[in-house]
A and B are shown apart, each in its own frame.
Chain A
Amino acid sequence: MALQEKYKELIDTAIAQGVNDLNVREQEGVLYIDGDASGSIKQQLWDTYERLDPNYSSGDLVMNINSIAGVTEGSKLKVTTNSSNLNIRSGPSTDADIVGKAARHEVVTLVSKANDQWWEIKTDNGAAGYSYTQYLTPL
């Protein structure tokens, strides 16, 4: 229970912010926090995590706040890469061939979700394939 004490503020924030399907459990010296929430709540929780455990260096928490669970097919997504274009690939892996690119801040359409990491998208120019969800922000 010691970890739930250490991360009490984080857990309390998650509860207060109404994270959906919130699941908190401790196993073999690691605390696991899972749930679905908006991108801004996810950001708030991660900032809290960083404050409680600077640089996340203790390795005693695995926090998976899914901010993309509620996004449905046909939704518009903005490409939020750091600076480069977003690769569109033939399959859901970085091993798959690059079949197209989407520009930074371009708006694309969600076709289907392969998994939480890879989504099939299409651009207005007709490029279609799989991109990494980390660089896609629902509008």
Chain B
Amino acid sequence: MKNLTMKTTALLVALVIMGTTFTSCKSGPKDDAVKAAVETALLSNPHIVEAAVTVEKGVATISGQVPDDATKADIDKTVAGVAGVKSVVNNLTVVPETPTVPVAATDVLTNAVKDATKDFPTVTATVNDGVVTLKGEIQKANLQKLMMALNALKPKKVDNSQLVIK
């Protein structure tokens, strides 16, 4: 009887091991779910540029570009924390980003420049591709006020080289 129990237990253990093995062999669907979970987790990080994720047998491999080492480490931690991820291969490359300076849209800028120059009737301003070009003439005493106002409108550049300052 005792012997039978032991045999049964051994069989059960074997079945469990087999079951586990089969599950991990069937890497497809489970890995897909983990991959989806990793991708969802990464969505919350705004610093990732072109990241790609693959998951095979619980090993998540991430590749792509990040702006700094801190982000790379942060992503590593995030991915490692996703349920189902056994280990992380972090192939992210650090490429420091050159921030693009936000420039106001031309129509918005054109209207804003019109408002800002309204009190300086001797000044004409044109807007082209974010660049404000000033012509005409202005009193020296008013120049700073006008430049302050124009610089606040998010232009790409203010060119007053053709403006006569009196």
- Interface residues, chain A, CB within 8 Å of chain B? 25, 27-28, 30, 32, 42, 46, 50, 55-57, 59-60, 62-64, 66, 82, 93-95, 116-118, 132, 134
Contacts and interface: CB of A to CB of B under 8 A. Distances in A.
Contacts of A30: 101, 156-157
Contacts of A117: 112, 115-116, 152-153
Contacts of A27: 98, 100-101
Interface stretch (B32-40, B59-67, B70-78, B139-147): B139-147
A28 B100 CA distance: 10
Interface of B: 98-101, 111-112, 114-116, 118-119, 140, 143-145, 147-149, 151-161, 165
Contacts of A56: 143, 147, 158, 160
A57 B115 contact: no
Contacts, number: 60
A70 B118 CA distance: 26
A36 to B, nearest CB: 12
6 contacts: A30-B101, A42-B148, A55-B140, A93-B115, A94-B115, A117-B116
Contacts of A116: 152
A57 B161 contact: yes
A64 B156 CA distance: 12
B165 A55 contact: yes
B154 to A, nearest CB: 7
Question: Interface SS of chain A: helix, strand, loop or mixed?
Answer: mixed
Contacts of B114: 94
B100 to A, nearest CB: 7
A59 B158 contact: yes
Contacts of A95: 111
Contacts of B154: 64
Nearest to A135: B119
Contacts of B119: 82
B101 A59 contact: no
A80 to B, nearest CB: 10
B6 to A, nearest CB: 72
Contacts of A50: 144
A59 B160 CA distance: 7
Contacts of A42: 148
Q: Which 3 A-B pairs have the closest CB atoms?
A: A59-B159, A94-B115, A32-B101
Given A30-B157, A46-B148, A64-B151, A25 B143 contact: no
